[in-house]
């Protein structure tokens, strides 16, 4: 047995050759020179593809931060050293996202010098991460109901699921405790059925158009791109895509977290308790509960950071009466730097819709590029700067509300 070690980012990759040409002779010791030769082949291959392995690790972390353990990947080698098949021989991590990504990556490997017909076992050891502060939207897997069965008409478009959800900020991805954020995509002419939550829900329209419907007697609210709505605790509501051709993409905020658990696992008891589907069409609205709708108005924008950035409050305490959450819009020109600061007691969640930059949390620096979710825990020192040529646009959330008050004081003489 030959073992080679190569480090790739946070992942430690170990390669083991199980058999060279004849598996029947695998139990016999190989010459030392041959072991060294094979080890060199494996190490050079893993170095060449280390970035791919690390990207697989990052994608797995976008699904859940709890990614650690060993995966033994058994690969078959064909002519020219090309990998023809990759299957797990051992999987302690139990991350479908990680395993599928590694298998796809292995099919691009070439183990030059390994005899055709050989089987190579590549053990990969992944070190658990204590925290993460950024989640790329592209890396987050889709959750939600399956697509309906395909139609019988030839040439018709493939069916789409009625909605899909990417869990960006929750307990599993970043250990968030105060609020959860998802990206919700509702297919054309579809809806999420009438339901309610014990806590509040906020929606912000990233693309398309949506309508939020309430119980009987409650006027529906139409939402265009850039608009937001606050849905009080216990208020029945349905979310509908008004478009017939294009999906509606929304940020969905739950405070406190809980309802998002049902997206990750429909059988989760806590998620089901916090996401009650309502079948009674005559359900009553809680006394005094009403939707609060906000849209960005230029007159409400507050200049910050030397006048090269603007903050537009949308759903704040003054409008909602809810001190547990704030949602607003932050726009920053290229070159704007947000000085090092902290928010004792309040988590900050940012959704970078456009632009690029760099986030500093503590002493670590993270490149950021839209679309991406950023999470800064309460009390964690952080800073940011925006680069590139395009204006950065972000949805900014504080849970609980409070830190946004600094923007009002900085605009006064």
Would you say 240 and 212 are in contact if contact means Cβ atoms under 8 Å apart? yes
Mean pLDDT of 9-25: 34
Beta carbons within 8 Å of 131's beta carbon, 6+ residues apart:
65, 174, 175, 377
Mean pLDDT of 58-64: 95
CA distances from 208 to 3, 242, 244 (A): 53, 8, 11
Q: In this predicted structure, what is the pLDDT of residue 114?
A: 86
Instruction: Match 């006394």 to its residue by tokens.
Output: 287
Q: What is the pLDDT of residues 341-366, one digit of tens each?
A: 999 999 999 999 999 999 999 999 99
141-146+159-294 and 298-410 have identical folds: yes
* pLDDT at residue 413 is higher than 80: no
* pLDDT at residue 274 is higher than 90: yes
Mean pLDDT (the chain) is 88
Overall residue count recorded for the chain in this entry:
413
Map out the domains of the chain as residue ranges.
2-126, 141-146+159-294, 298-410
Give the least confident one: 43-57, 163-177, 269-283, 288-302: 43-57
pTM: 0.87
Q: What is the pLDDT of residues 78-133, one digit of tens each?
A: 999 999 999 999 999 999 999 999 999 999 999 888 889 988 888 889 998 899 99
Q: What is the pLDDT of residues 135-154, one digit of tens each?
A: 999 999 999 988 877 765 55
Would you say 192 and 186 are in contact if contact means Cβ atoms under 8 Å apart? yes
Q: In this predicted structure, what is the pLDDT of residue 23?
A: 29
CATH 2.60.120.10 for domain 141-146+159-294, yes or no, is yes
Q: In this predicted structure, what is the pLDDT of residue 192?
A: 96
* pLDDT at residue 220 is higher than 60: yes
HEC string of 368-389 equals EECCEEEEECCCCCEEEEEECC
Would you say 321 and 389 are in contact if contact means Cβ atoms under 8 Å apart? no
Beta carbons within 8 Å of 70's beta carbon, 6+ residues apart:
90, 92, 93, 123, 124, 125, 126
- What confidence category does residue 41 fall into, taking pLDDT thresholds of 50, 70 and 90? confident
Cα separation, 356 vs 393, whole angstroms: 10
Cα separation, 140 vs 402, whole angstroms: 29
Mean pLDDT of 5-32: 36
Strands of the sheet with 11-19, listed across from one edge: 2-8, 11-19, 119-126, 69-77, 83-91
Would you say 370 and 395 are in contact if contact means Cβ atoms under 8 Å apart? no
Q: Kindly state the DSSP code that residue 406 receives in the 8-state scheme.
A: H
Peptide bond into 371 cis (omega under 30): yes
* pLDDT at residue 316 is higher than 80: yes
For strand 200-207 and strand 309-315, is the pairing parallel, antiparallel, or unpaired? unpaired
Q: In this predicted structure, what is the pLDDT of residue 155?
A: 58
**Helical H runs in 82-226?**
96-106, 171-174
The CATH classification number of 298-410 equals 2.60.120.10
* Strand, coil or helix: 234: coil
* Candidate CATH numbers 3.30.2420.10, 1.10.1660.10, 3.40.50.300, 3.10.129.10; the one for domain 2-126: 3.30.2420.10
Q: In this predicted structure, what is the pLDDT of residue 32?
A: 61
* Strand, coil or helix: 317: helix
Would you say 183 and 249 are in contact if contact means Cβ atoms under 8 Å apart? yes
Would you say 301 and 328 are in contact if contact means Cβ atoms under 8 Å apart? no
For strand 2-8 and strand 337-341, is the pairing parallel, antiparallel, or unpaired? unpaired
Q: In this predicted structure, what is the pLDDT of residue 46?
A: 79
Q: In sequence order, what are the beta bridge partners of 204? A: 228, 251
* Dihedral Cα 394, 400, 406, 407, nearest 10 deg: 30
Q: What is the pLDDT of residues 378-403, one digit of tens each?
A: 999 999 999 989 999 999 999 999 99
Beta carbons within 8 Å of 304's beta carbon, 6+ residues apart:
310, 311, 407, 410, 411
Cα separation, 230 vs 301, whole angstroms: 20
Selection from 131, 136, 55 nearest residue 97 by Cα? 55
Beta carbons within 8 Å of 408's beta carbon, 6+ residues apart:
302
CA 97 to chain CA centroid, Å, is 13
Q: Within the chain, what is the greatest distance between any pair of CA atoms?
A: 84
Mean pLDDT of 218-239: 97
- Higher confidence at residue 377 or residue 153? 377
Mean pLDDT of 43-54: 86
* pLDDT at residue 19 is higher than 90: no
* pLDDT at residue 4 is higher than 50: no
């Amino acid at each position: 047995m030959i073992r080679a070690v190569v480090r790739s980012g946070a992942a430690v990759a170990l390669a083991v050759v199980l058999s060279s040409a004849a598996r029947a002779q695998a139990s016999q010791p190989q010459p030392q020179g041959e072991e060294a030769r094979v080890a060199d082949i494996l190490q050079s291959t893993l170095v060449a593809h280390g970035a791919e392995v690390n990207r697989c690790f990052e994608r797995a972390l976008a699904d859940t931060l709890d990614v650690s353990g060993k995966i033994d990947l058994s690969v078959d080698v064909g002519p020219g050293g090309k990998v023809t098949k990759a299957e797990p021989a051992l999987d302690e991590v139990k991350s479908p996202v990680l395993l599928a990504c590694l298998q796809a990556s292995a099919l691009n490997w070439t183990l030059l010098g390994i005899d055709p017909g050989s089987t190579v076992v590549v053990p990969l050891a992944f070190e658990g991460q204590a925290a993460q502060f950024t989640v790329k939207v592209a890396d987050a897997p889709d959750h939600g109901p399956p697509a309906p069965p395909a139609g019988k008409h030839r040439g018709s478009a493939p069916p789409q699921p009625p909605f899909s959800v990417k869990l960006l900020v929750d307990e599993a991805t970043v250990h968030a405790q105060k609020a959860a954020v998802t990206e919700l995509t509702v297919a054309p002419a579809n809806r999420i059925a009438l339901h309610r939550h014990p806590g509040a829900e906020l929606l912000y329209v990233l693309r398309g158009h949506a309508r939020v419907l309430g119980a009987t007697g409650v006027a529906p609210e139409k939402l265009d791109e850039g608009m937001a709505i606050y849905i009080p605790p216990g208020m029945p509501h349905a979310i509908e895509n008004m478009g017939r051709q294009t999906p509606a993409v929304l940020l969905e905020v739950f405070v406190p977290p809980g309802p998002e658990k049902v997206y990750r696992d429909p059988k989760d008891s806590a998620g089901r308790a916090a996401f009650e589907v309502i079948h009674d069409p005559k359900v009553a609205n809680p006394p005094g509960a009403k939707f609060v709708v906000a849209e960005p108005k230029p007159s409400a924008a507050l200049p910050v950071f030397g006048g090269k950035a603007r903050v537009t409050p949308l759903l704040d305490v003054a409008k909602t009466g809810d001190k547990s959450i704030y949602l607003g819009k932050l726009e920053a020109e290229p070159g704007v730097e947000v000085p090092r600061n902290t928010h004792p007691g309040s988590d900050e969640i940012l959704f970078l819709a456009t632009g690029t930059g760099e986030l500093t949390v503590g002493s670590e620096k993270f490149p950021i590029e839209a679309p991406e979710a950023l999470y800064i825990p309460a009390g964690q020192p952080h800073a940011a700067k925006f680069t590139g040529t395009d204006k950065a646009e972000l949805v900014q959330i504080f849970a609980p509300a409070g830190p946004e008050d600094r923007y009002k004081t900085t605009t006064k003489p």
